[in-house]
Structure formats: structure tokens, C-alpha cells
Amino acid sequence: MLFNSLPFLYFFLPITYLVFWRLSGRTSRYVWLTLTGYVFYGFWNYQFCPLLAFSTLMSYWAGRGLLAWTDPRRRTLCLVLPIAIDLLILVFFKYVNFGLESVGQLAQWVGLSFAPEPLAILLPIGISFYTFHNISYLVDSYRGVIVPTRNFWEYASYVSLFSQLVAGPIVRFREIKQDLDQLDRVDRFRYFQKACSFFAIGMIEKVLIADSIAAFIDPALADYAALSTLDVWLCMLGYTYQLYFDFCGYSDMAVGLGYLFGLQIPRNFNSPYQAATIQDFWRRWHISLFSCLRDYVYIPLGGNRVASWLVARNVLLTMLIGGIWHGANWTFIYWGLYHGLLLVGFRLGEDYWARLPGLLQRGATFLLVVVAWTIFRSDDLDMAGTLLQRMWFYQFELPAVQDPVLVGLLLLVGAWTHLGPNTFEMRHEWGRVPAGLLALFFVGCLLTLVQHRPSPFLYFQF
């Protein structure tokens, strides 16, 4: 089930909302959020609901162990064992076939006739996200950052909350605990206003902007070998904006859904394409993921409190893990390493970079990000190599995607992205005219969904 699907909008969401606020008591609402989360998840594949339940139960009881025991060995066991099991499950479903394929390629490279058959494995949707939720809960509990909850349904509702279950944001328990405890004291009218505003804006970003761009560039990239240099640049600029509005749209809709149920979901984007450095970009893009990588990978490795070469190692390992987290493909590994090298390079040359004009800093940073998205978008390394070669070594072909409608659309969304406010910088207390325009665009989204099958959000695959 998709946020931008008619069954969700007309049936699932209204029923879930109305029943939630008719219930009294926090625990009954936790139970309802848990049940609806599993129903939402089961629409994808109900066979994976037991896996989600197992992971939730394991982390909950490990948290209870951390709460009850002071013995260091027992506490370490409560931390290490469930995290190891969660990671093994994630590796099995997400990376086993990639590993088998890589072993086969290596065998062929050294002259061995070894080609292991891939396993018939279906990737559970959202497994990377809810695994991160469980790990962050256990690590924060072990460190004493939070007190593990005694209420199972409170924890279960946190893990299975449908607004952030399958594609984030990666909400840490400490960020949402206070809201879960104060559901009875929510200003429902003010939250409802914000919910409608965030959700409508997110829907517009996804349906009217991201999907419109995709309609032009996806067919062209399916035959990428025939594209000219100008076509490739147009496609990759289009994908840069498509990915942003697709994922930012999903995140804004998740924030809106959180407000509907009295929960403040943290922001996940802060105008990333207005960044002046790569470090600044990663403080603005997919904020929840980068903060988790920083707190649970980079800092435990030593962060920036060690020798310079160790700082570089820590950055590269962190970004490599970030790339691998996105998927089992060499393109994601190279994408992560590329960003790691950029971060190391910017750290070494930050004094020189700071002397450049601000506009040049932002333009160059954006250009480097577009190159990164070229690797990220590619299906394999051959495609990435071809696209990058076409981008930097001019090749003339008959235009394939140089449509004036696409060019105009990219100019409009580019101007807004680089110069305009983001969703969290808006007041969300609209006057009649702005509210009417927002409603009009939202109705346009609904009409589009009636005529066309809703497209999945790009980050669902991760």
C-alpha cells in the first residue's frame, strides 16, 4: 500500500485516524498503531510480518534485560546478540545473492569455472529501516541515553508505525518517546492543520513533480547508450531533482501522518541542494540516516578525535557502509566511496574552499552531487561508466529527451530547490488564497491518481 494510492487515502487512513482518537488510554492507542502498522505492512507481503514481529520482540526483551541487569557481561550480551541476529537476517535477505554473484565473477577472473546459483530470496520491504530502529534503540539503551520502555505495545508501535516503517525517516526512540507518552495532551486542531499541510505538500512533490520528471527521463535512461552528452546531462539533472522530490515528498507525507496521530517526526531534508560543501550536503540530505551513521559508526570508530589518517579511514568506512546500506550493487559501493573521498578531500582543502565565492561553492557542490547521483542511478558499473563518459566527453547524437516541457519543468523546480524555502521553513498556517491553491494542487494529485497507477517511492527498494 502506498501513501499516494486511493485505497490508502480513502479507506486505510480515515479508519485508522478515526478509531485511534476514539480510543482512550495510551496503551490501547499503542495497540491500534501496532495492528494498523502490521496491516499496512501486510499489504506488501503478509509472510514477512512474523519476521518483523520476531525482530521487535527480540529487541524489546533485550531492552528489558538492559533495564534489569547491571552485570557488564549480561548487558553486553543483551546488546550484541540481538544486533548480530538482526544484521545476519539483513545480510541474508539483502546481500547473499550479491555475495554469490561477486564470488562467481571473481572465480571467472582467476580462471575458475565456478558460478553459484542465486537463491530464490524476496527482499522484505523496509527491513533496512526497521533494523536501524531496533539497533538504535538497543545502543541508546546500553549507553544510558534512554530508559528502555516496560510497555511492549509502546515499543511495538514505535517499530511498526506505518508512517515511517517501509522507507523512513529513521526515527530514534528517544526522538518520539515524549510524544508517545503525551498522546492525551495533544493540540489536535493545530496538529491536524500541520498534518494536512505537510501531507498535501508531500503529495504534490511526489505526484506532480517527481513522477512528471520520471515520465521523461526513465524511458530515455532505459536506452542510455543512445543518449548524447546533452541528453545525459538533462537526464541526470532530472534524476537529481526527481530523487529529491520523491524522497522529500515521502518524508513530508510521513511528517504529516505523524502529526495526525500526535507524533512529531523529525525533518529528513533541509534544502540539500543549497549546500556549500559536501559536509554541508550530508547535514541536509537524509538527515536521519547520516546522523545514525555518525553516532553508531563514525564516532565509535574514533570520529575526528584521532590522527588525520585515521579520520580519513573513519570517513571512508562510514560512507562505504552508507553505500552498502542502500543496496547490494557495486554502484552503491562506489557511490559511498565517492562521497567518502569527497568528504576527505574537502576536509583537507577546506581553507582553500572557504576562499571561493559562496555562489561558486554552492554550484560546484551541486555539480559533484549530480555526478554522484549518476553512479547511484546506474543499474551496473557499465551503465555508470557510459553515462559518466558521455557527460564529460562530448558526443553528438540526435536529441532523445531535449523536450521543452522537461526543460521548463527542470528550470522551475531547480529555481525553487536552490532559492526557495523547504517545507519545514513554511509556517503551515495558510490564509484562504494559499490554502485554496494548496487544495487545488492536491485535488490535481487525486485526479492524476485516478487516471494513472500510483508509482512506488524510489527509496522503497532500500
End-to-end alpha carbon distance in the chain = 16
Cβ–Cβ < 8 Å for 338, 375: yes
Q: Which residues contact 21 (CB under 8 A, 6 or more apart)?
A: 188
Which residue is associated with the grid cell 534524476? 239
Active site residue 428: no
Q: Distances in Å between the alpha carbon of 422 and those of 192, 198, 434?
A: 20, 11, 16
Q: Is 194 left (phi over 0), alpha (psi -120 to 50) or beta?
A: alpha
Cβ–Cβ < 8 Å for 376, 189: no
Distance CA 289, CA 361 (A): 24
Q: Which residues contact 304 (CB under 8 A, 6 or more apart)?
A: 311, 314
Nearest residue to 139 (alpha-carbon basis) of 25, 59, 254, 251: 59
Q: Could you say which of 133, 286, 326, 339 is catalytic? A: 326
Q: Which residues contact 153 (CB under 8 A, 6 or more apart)?
A: 27, 30, 31, 34
Cite the active site residues. Answer: 326
